[in-house]
Amino acid sequence: MQIDILTIFPEMFEGAFKHSIIKRSQEKGIVQIRLHNIRDYATDKHKRVDDYQYGGGSGMVMMIDPIAKCIDKLTDDTKYDEVIFMTPDGEKLAQPLANRLSTYQNILILCGHYKGIDERIREKYITREISIGDYVLSGGELAAAVLTDSLVRLIPGVLNDETSALSDSFQNNLLSPPVYTRPYDYNGLKVPDVLLSGHDKEIENWRMNHALKRTKTRRPDLLTDEEHKE
């Protein structure tokens, strides 16, 4: 999968993409993440990417031209499955959307800043607008990093044990059950014995019961099945 990210702050991604699973996915050649600095496409001598908004009001708006030039150049060589704009007024990111995007070959993610981007970019180029939650960030970069992480880990071959993405919270509308590792006894706090029993079926039942219990108490809204709610 190729992910092209358009931003005026490419440095913001360094920490997020140079560690752990995302780093490994790139090293394995499963994912290519390319960062594009929108400022490189500004044509005036000050490399301006923003301007005052028509009609007045506080806050600058990202201009069409540098963004359009950057997208036009990329679409010359690549056909994108989605051209995504990260914005608090977009569709809320949840697991089903991450699952779907993780099956695509090429996606482009545009990060906004300041008061927003000129609406005509949204009209002309954007195929999907995504929010990571009902709060406003200073820009789309952190949101783009969250989106990228959420879908890269789902691509086959990225996680060593592929089933572990399938058993994530939300994959079956359930939160994950508790997990434990050594030591068995930590100052009197013990691991539930069933997990040491070696009985696969009992362990599976225990996990399912605890996933359900946790979901009922913490996120009952996830349980659509009436009998689960009882």
Of the residues 20, 28, 100, 136, which one makes contact with ligand ADE according to CB under 6 A: 136
Nearest approach in angstroms of CB 7 to ligand ADE is 12
What sections of the chain are H helices per DSSP? 14-17, 20-27, 64-77, 95-101, 119-125, 141-152, 163-166, 200-218, 226-229
Phi/psi at 24 (5° precision): -65, -40
DSSP-derived letter for residue 51 is E
- Candidates 8-16, 80-88, 119-127, 158-166 — which segment interacts with ligand ADE by CB under 6 A? 80-88
Does 132 bind ligand ADE (CB under 6 A)? Our answer is: yes
| Complex with ligand ADE: residue 136 or 166, whichever CB lies closer | 136
- Candidates 53-61, 133-141, 166-174, 195-203 — which segment interacts with ligand ADE by CB under 6 A? 133-141
With H, G, I as helix, E, B as strand and everything else as coil, classify residue 175. coil
Cβ–Cβ under 8 Å, residues 94 and 131:
no
| Complex with ligand ADE: residue 111 or 174, whichever CB lies closer | 111
CA pair distance 44, 89, nearest whole angstrom: 31
Phi/psi at 51 (5° precision): -155, 170
Does 137 bind ligand ADE (CB under 6 A)? Our answer is: yes
Does 116 bind ligand ADE (CB under 6 A)? Our answer is: no
CA pair distance 94, 91, nearest whole angstrom: 9
Burial 157-172 (b: 16+ CB within 10 A, else e): ebbeeeeebeebbbee
| Complex with ligand ADE: residue 1 or 141, whichever CB lies closer | 141
Of the residues 25, 131, 150, 215, which one makes contact with ligand ADE according to CB under 6 A: 131
User: Exposed, middle or buried by CB within 10 Å (0-12, 13-18, 19+), for 85?
Assistant: buried
- Candidates 59-67, 82-90, 96-104, 216-224 — which segment interacts with ligand ADE by CB under 6 A? 82-90
Interface characters, 12-51, with ligand ADE (x: CB under 6 A): ----------------------------------------
What are the residues binding ligand ADE (CB under 6 A)? 86-88, 131-133, 135-137, 140, 143
